[in-house]
Chain A
Amino acid sequence: MTMVKTMRTSVSLMLMLALALVLAVPAFAASQEYEFYYEGEPSAHASSFIAGPAEVNGTTVTITLSGDYYPYLYADDGTGNYVQASKTVSGGNTVFTFTNSNPDQDIPVQLYVSVSYPGGSHNALYSLDIHWL
């Protein structure tokens, strides 16, 4: 009887622990919608390349942009220093991951866009702000 009670207690504790772990993940990782601002104003054009919400996991921010036209992105690390984001390409989208010490605030980034097409090319570095919605 005592053993059964002990087992029940252990099972309950394990369930609570498992539940706590499950609940703990969303507390640190969250989706967050954003817009790009260019020269202090919302840029519908730049924002149209946002493939989905950002993922903010503590101080790590991941954004996904549609297409593979972005050789690199530098992001403000929260102190005014621009640090190059890590980049992967997946399913035709470009995923940049970087850290920022205070991701609750809007984040200045510098995004290089490079597109070659018939008749010309588009290569430019844009200073943008990630504006959280």
Chain B
Amino acid sequence: MNKQLGKILALLTAFAIVLSLVPGGAGQAGAAAAITVPDGEYPIHFRILKDGSEEDSYASAYLEPGPGKLIVKNGKYEFVSKWNNYDWFAFWGSLKPGRQKSADADDYTPATLISAEDHTVTDRGPVPGVPTEVKGYYGTISLPVEDITKKQELLMHIVIKDLYLGGQPFAYDHWYNAQLLLDTTGIPIVPAGSGGEKGSANITKDQLNEKLSVAQQVYDTTEEGLSDGLYYPGSKTSLYSAIAAARETADDPDAAAEAISKAYDSLVLALENYELLRVKIDRTPLQQIIGESTEYLNQMVIFGSASGDTRIPSAGEHPVGSDTALRNAITSAESVYSNPGATIPQVDKAVADLSSALQKAKNKKTTSKTIHVALLDSVVPAPSVSKLAYYVSDTAELLQSDTYLYARVTWNRASNLDTASIKYKRPATTGEFAFLSSENAVIPISANPESDTLVSQIDVNRSSTLNISGIVYVKFNTIEPSVTNSVYLTLNVDLLDELAAQANEAQALLDGASAGAGPGQYPADAVASFRAAIDSAKAVANNLGATRPQIDAASAALEQAVAAFKASAAPENGEEEDPPAAPVPPDPPVTPTPPVGSPVPVVPAPGSGTPPTDREDDGSTGAGGVDGGASAPAKSFRDIQHHWARETIEKAAALGIAQGFEDGSFRPDAIVTRAEFAAFLSRALQLEAVDSEAAASIRDLNQMPAWARSHAAKAASAGLMKGYADGAFGAGNPISRAEIAVVAARAAKLAPKEHPVLPFADAAKIPAWAKPEIAAAVEAGLIQGKDGNRFDPDAVATRAEALAVIVRLLERP
């Protein structure tokens, strides 16, 4: 009777458990319990997913067959997998806990290479079928995984080498986000923090068998899965193990009473754990984001709502179509929300997708501010305020919707303007002082005959990047006199003012500091480095033709310099009397920047075809870094790890050509000055002999920093860099790509091409005087074109570009 009653109770219990599996309704609180896995190594199936999708990533093609391995140690997870063509994986990493998904390698923990194997393949190299040994073809790697129940964010950098398709080299260099999805089926997962002794005593075998019957019933009638009410993959493995262990005891005729009680307790615990692993999806976040998005959608205003013209945005408005995108995302999220069979990944994805769509919509909400602008006649080689500046108000309204920029410019003396003639070119998306090809008409906004003004709109940027110079090419006709004027409108005036203020603040810090080794004092070399950084920032701030990337780089470099300077102070010691402070030596003379609008050195207009008489460079003042003359040893630099020129820079540093800055940076994208380039060249070519006559001919030799003098003299003496027509060398001035190419050709002793043919789209912009030597330099591989098949002759060169040319120069046979 008791046995029969026990069976009935057992079946009722099983029935109750099964009933409790009915999926909960929307908005159900709670989720599957946090889980853990006993320490050990487990084979595990997995997928690498294409970013933001459920599709396999193309990277999966490089996976070696078979499962991966999950290593669990002290609650930490490591995932191990084996890849082929692993030499193409320049970077592999798992998102660090607490970081946001990004394309920045610093946010990811790099994979650990456990082992690498070489392999001979026949499908690489220019000729198919020729065996090629590939070093590190196979790679077995380990990646940390934060939570095995969630997709692990990954970042990879694929650089394909030695691959030819159709006889052509296949250039491939891309960063990818992807996700690692682990299949925990078969992994003995248990709820985190579960366990504890039950302490049951005097359990009979009948009671153990009854509990076994319940457990088996639960096991047989429930399913694993990721939808509400199902059991998390891997949970049945743990329950099965517990049932098998208990059955062994139950089937053992000699089992002791203590063992029976223990087996019973283990089974009860396994059933409790199993129940904790039942999926309960928390839809509250999805509900909340749907509500928030719907509210935002309902108040979205679209371009043209105020103006009546969708081309003319107003503050607070969104681009046409952005409301549709958000509405579609809300509809998709609502579909998942109302689907009782939705899985955990589907709900998570719906939350992520809608959050992303909402953020994008918010980013596109137009903001407006008044900025200062300036009209320039020239930018390169030296900026000069236009003599027509009075035609444009010095303030403009700048509207921004995500990366799109619109400038509302007020024109004065409108009655003397042929308004239909006002055209402009947008800045290029390279960040350099260059422009997109198309010429666009301004959009008229308003006119005021009384004040003789009109307002027109310039669509400054329609690209997905804000990496633009901030300088617009503008062309307009005046009526009297009837002249077509070409000018440049810079939107960067306020940014330059901010940089100047930052430099002044740094100067005040420097002025208030005392040099010395005493408490609170600063080492002399730190003072010198800081002063150089301030001078460099001031030089950019004083350059009205500076581009936004140049201003940003100068600001960042100065910020780092301030931090490095502060950190260099000797610790305060309150118990000792401060030694007498030595005054910080005064600033050395800085080559003055020509006042805007003042006469500048004789230079040819870009593209004018007029050869310079005796110069390679021109432009504004700049100050060198430690590269100028400090004797810091060659080393690795903290800001080149992911730079395209990393190998070149390291090679140059190893050869003693370039040395970087005191703060451990190299600043590869900073503009290279004439002095720096002369220093690179002089060190690389080991220029020694100084023609005293040539040195004496450098008018500003004594005005340039001490470290630069010998290099400038050597470069001039060797006939490589001759200087300006007025005898000045212009140590702090930038140097253009065209000029670097000419110097490189001279240094390589290349014969100028008599009939130069330059295959670049912008070949017409290359000055005629430079073409013969540039053609020779290009043919010799000393300098290459840029994206879009451009040579970009007027662009100022960066330190990295300059070194690339010099290293190629050295590597010539």
Instruction: Tell me which residues across on chain A come within 8 A of B559, comparing CB atoms.
Output: none
What total of chain B residues lie within 8 Å of the partner, measured CB to CB? 32
Instruction: Tell me which residues across on chain B come within 8 A of A132, comparing CB atoms.
Output: 438, 462
- Inter-chain CA distance A116–B123, complex, in Å, is 11
B438 close to A45 (CB less than 8 A): no
- Inter-chain CA distance A42–B62, complex, in Å, is 28
Instruction: Tell me which residues across on chain B come within 8 A of A52, comparing CB atoms.
Output: 761, 788-789
CB of A92 within 8 Å of the partner chain: yes
- Inter-chain CA distance A45–B262, complex, in Å, is 60
Task: Kindly specify which of A5-13, A15-23, A25-33 makes contact with the partner chain.
Answer: A25-33
Instruction: Tell me which residues across on chain A come within 8 A of B62, comparing CB atoms.
Output: 119-120
Q: A48-B174, A118-B121, A122-B58 are in contact. Are A133 and B165 (CB under 8 A)?
A: no
Instruction: Tell me which residues across on chain A come within 8 A of B436, comparing CB atoms.
Output: 32-33, 53, 133
- Inter-chain CA distance A92–B169, complex, in Å, is 9
Q: A52-B761, A52-B789, A118-B85 are in contact. Are A30 and B438 (CB under 8 A)?
A: yes
Give chain B's interface secondary structure class. Answer: loop
A53 close to B437 (CB less than 8 A): yes
CB of B342 within 8 Å of the partner chain: no
CB of A35 within 8 Å of the partner chain: yes
Q: A32-B438, A53-B437, A69-B165 are in contact. Are A120 and B462 (CB under 8 A)?
A: no
Closest chain A residue, CB of each to CB of B168: A92
- Inter-chain CA distance A115–B798, complex, in Å, is 35
A30 close to B437 (CB less than 8 A): yes
Q: A33-B429, A33-B438, A53-B788 are in contact. Are A117 and B168 (CB under 8 A)?
A: no
A117 close to B463 (CB less than 8 A): no
Enumerate A101-121 residues with CB–CB distance to B below 8 Å: 115-121
CB of B463, distance to nearest CB on chain A (Å): 5
- Inter-chain CA distance A66–B85, complex, in Å, is 23
One digit per residue, 1 when the CB lies within 8 angstroms of any chain B CB and 0 when it does not, for chain A 83-111 equals 00000000010000000000000000000
Q: A32-B438, A118-B124, A118-B163 are in contact. Are A133 and B168 (CB under 8 A)?
A: no
Closest chain B residue, CB of each to CB of A89: B166
- Inter-chain CA distance A31–B438, complex, in Å, is 6
Across the interface, B166 reaches (CB within 8 A) one of A35, A68, A131, A133, namely A68
CB of B778 within 8 Å of the partner chain: no
CB of A125 within 8 Å of the partner chain: no
CB of A44 within 8 Å of the partner chain: yes
Closest chain B residue, CB of each to CB of A132: B462
One digit per residue, 1 when the CB lies within 8 angstroms of any chain A CB and 0 when it does not, for chain B 120-137 equals 010110000000000000
CB of B170 within 8 Å of the partner chain: yes
CB of B135, distance to nearest CB on chain A (Å): 15
A117 close to B163 (CB less than 8 A): yes
CB of B160 within 8 Å of the partner chain: yes
CB of B464 within 8 Å of the partner chain: yes
Closest chain B residue, CB of each to CB of A44: B464
Instruction: Tell me which residues across on chain A come within 8 A of B428, comparing CB atoms.
Output: 33
- Inter-chain CA distance A30–B761, complex, in Å, is 13
CB of A40 within 8 Å of the partner chain: yes
Instruction: Tell me which residues across on chain B come within 8 A of A117, comparing CB atoms.
Output: 61, 160, 163, 165, 170
A42 close to B464 (CB less than 8 A): yes
Across the interface, A120 reaches (CB within 8 A) one of B61, B165, B325, namely B61
B174 close to A45 (CB less than 8 A): yes
B437 close to A115 (CB less than 8 A): no
- Inter-chain CA distance A84–B462, complex, in Å, is 28
B325 close to A40 (CB less than 8 A): yes
A120 close to B437 (CB less than 8 A): no
- Inter-chain CA distance A87–B61, complex, in Å, is 29
CB of B84 within 8 Å of the partner chain: yes
Instruction: Tell me which residues across on chain B come within 8 A of A118, comparing CB atoms.
Output: 84-85, 121, 123-124, 163
B788 close to A68 (CB less than 8 A): no
Enumerate B318-371 residues with CB–CB distance to A below 8 Å: 321, 325, 360
B462 close to A133 (CB less than 8 A): yes
- Inter-chain CA distance A119–B57, complex, in Å, is 13
Instruction: Tell me which residues across on chain A come within 8 A of B82, comparing CB atoms.
Output: none
One digit per residue, 1 when the CB lies within 8 angstroms of any chain A CB and 0 when it does not, for chain B 419-437 equals 0000000101100000011
- Inter-chain CA distance A63–B85, complex, in Å, is 33
CB of B716, distance to nearest CB on chain A (Å): 39
Instruction: Tell me which residues across on chain A come within 8 A of B761, comparing CB atoms.
Output: 31, 52-53
Closest chain B residue, CB of each to CB of A54: B437
A31 close to B168 (CB less than 8 A): no
Instruction: Tell me which residues across on chain B come within 8 A of A67, comparing CB atoms.
Output: 165, 168, 170-171
- Inter-chain CA distance A28–B360, complex, in Å, is 37
Most buried by B among A31, A32, A119: A119
- Inter-chain CA distance A112–B58, complex, in Å, is 16
Enumerate B75-101 residues with CB–CB distance to A below 8 Å: 84-85
Closest chain B residue, CB of each to CB of A68: B166
- Inter-chain CA distance A33–B762, complex, in Å, is 14
- Inter-chain CA distance A120–B429, complex, in Å, is 34
A133 close to B789 (CB less than 8 A): no
CB of A51 within 8 Å of the partner chain: yes
Instruction: Tell me which residues across on chain B come within 8 A of A41, comparing CB atoms.
Output: 360
Most buried by B among A42, A69, A115, A118: A118
- Inter-chain CA distance A19–B166, complex, in Å, is 45
A68 close to B165 (CB less than 8 A): yes
B124 close to A133 (CB less than 8 A): no
Across the interface, B463 reaches (CB within 8 A) one of A31, A35, A40, A66, namely A35
Closest chain B residue, CB of each to CB of A56: B438
CB of B174, distance to nearest CB on chain A (Å): 6
Most buried by A among B160, B166, B426: B166
Enumerate B435-458 residues with CB–CB distance to A below 8 Å: 436-438
Closest chain A residue, CB of each to CB of B761: A52
Q: A30-B438, A31-B438 are in contact. Are A115 and B165 (CB under 8 A)?
A: yes
- Inter-chain CA distance A116–B166, complex, in Å, is 10
- Inter-chain CA distance A66–B788, complex, in Å, is 10
B61 close to A119 (CB less than 8 A): yes
One digit per residue, 1 when the CB lies within 8 angstroms of any chain B CB and 0 when it does not, for chain A 68-81 equals 11000000000000
B788 close to A133 (CB less than 8 A): no
Instruction: Tell me which residues across on chain B come within 8 A of A131, comparing CB atoms.
Output: 462
CB of A114, distance to nearest CB on chain B (Å): 10
The 7 A-B pairs with the shortest beta carbon distances in the complex, nearest first, are A120-B61, A42-B464, A31-B437, A118-B123, A119-B61, A92-B168, A52-B788
Would you mind naming 11 contact pairs between A and B with Cβ atoms under 8 Å apart? Answer: A35-B464, A40-B325, A44-B464, A53-B437, A67-B165, A67-B170, A115-B165, A116-B165, A119-B62, A119-B85, A133-B462
Given A35-B464, A53-B436, A69-B165, 15 new contacts (CB under 8 A)? A30-B437, A31-B761, A32-B437, A33-B438, A40-B325, A41-B360, A48-B174, A53-B788, A116-B165, A117-B165, A118-B85, A119-B62, A119-B85, A120-B58, A131-B462
